[in-house]
Amino acid sequence: TAPINKEALNLAGHHYDGHTGMLAHLTGQKTAWMLLGSERLKVIHVSTHVSLKTAIDRATPERILATIRTGNEHLKRIGYENPRIAVAGINPHCGESGLFGNEDDLQVVPAVAMAKAEGINVVGPISADTVYHRAYTGAFDLVVAQYHDQGHIPIKLVAFDTAVNVSLGLPIDRTSVDHGTAFDIAGTGKANHVNMKSAIAYARRLVSGKK
């Protein structure tokens, strides 16, 4: 899909947070996930278009576990035999044993333990200021981000023109560009097709089941 203007969507009476939420509703799914994929870094989000306060509240052990499962299944589908998954922490330094908050101990640790018990190759929580570098340099195949900016900033830094937005948890396959509508450059001839080309290529990977 091409970019969508969320403000215009809602002004028109369609009250969704974007394509992912709209497609989840239209296909009868209670939950869907956003994965941002590039060649060297892939990130799946526990939550996306909500306030930071709401995102932390939503990061329950059950939702984090469901996110880990979804990411694991997706990577297996595109050819990863035993995906290596890292879960980012919520607080600075994962809370430093409660010094900077106990959300990591109460919300993330139980989810990772349950995922490990299911045989998923996952570790965490790992401090968000280091986990993306480790994944980018080859230590992990996927990072579970706890909220929108925690996942979007690193992947847009390293793959701004080529990262692909993939909706998971739907009964249909959907990939999209990882940028907005860019109305400010409409009609100028400056639009770049590379991101759409990447989205189409990723859709082919989903069909072929290959890396």
Asked if 146 and 46 count as a contact pair (C-beta separation under 8 A), the reply is yes
* SS3 assignment, position 88: strand
What digits encode the pLDDT tens for the residues 158-175?
A: 998 899 999 999 999 999
> Which secondary-structure segment (H or E) carries 195?
helix 194-208
End-to-end CA distance of the chain: 21
Asked if 41 and 132 count as a contact pair (C-beta separation under 8 A), the reply is yes
The DSSP bridge partners found for residue 182 are none
Mean pLDDT computed over 59-65: 97
Asked if 96 and 129 count as a contact pair (C-beta separation under 8 A), the reply is no
201 in a structural domain: yes
132 in a structural domain: yes
Q: Average the pLDDT over each of 68-72, 160-164, 178-182, 185-189 and give the range with the smallest value.
A: 178-182
Spatial distance between the Cα atoms of 188 and 175, rounded to a whole number of angstroms: 26
What digits encode the pLDDT tens for the residues 21-32?
A: 888 888 998 889
> How many domains, the chain?
1
User: What Cα–Cα distance (Å) separates residue 203 from each residue in 1, 53, 116, 171?
Assistant: 11, 33, 29, 14
User: What Cα–Cα distance (Å) separates residue 172 from each residue in 17, 93, 135, 167, 207?
Assistant: 19, 37, 28, 9, 11
Q: What is the CA radius of gyration of the chain?
A: 17
Give the CATH number, domain containing residue 60: 3.40.718.10
Question: What per-residue confidence (pLDDT) applies to 210?
Answer: 66
Predicted TM-score (pTM) of this structure: 0.88
142 in a structural domain: yes
- The answer, yes or no, to whether residue 141 has pLDDT greater than 80, is yes
21 in a structural domain: no
Q: Which domain holds residue 115?
A: 32-178+189-208
Q: How many CA atoms lie within 13 A of 28 on its CB side?
A: 1
Question: What per-residue confidence (pLDDT) applies to 14?
Answer: 86
Task: Name residue 41's amino acid.
Answer: L
10 in a structural domain: no
Asked if 146 and 47 count as a contact pair (C-beta separation under 8 A), the reply is yes
27 in a structural domain: no
Mean pLDDT computed over 79-86: 96
Question: What per-residue confidence (pLDDT) applies to 63?
Answer: 97
Residues 6+ apart with CB under 8 A from 167: 19, 20, 23, 24, 32, 33, 34, 35, 174, 175, 176
Share of residues in the chain with pLDDT > 70 (%): 99
153 in a structural domain: yes
- The answer, yes or no, to whether residue 8 has pLDDT greater than 90, is no
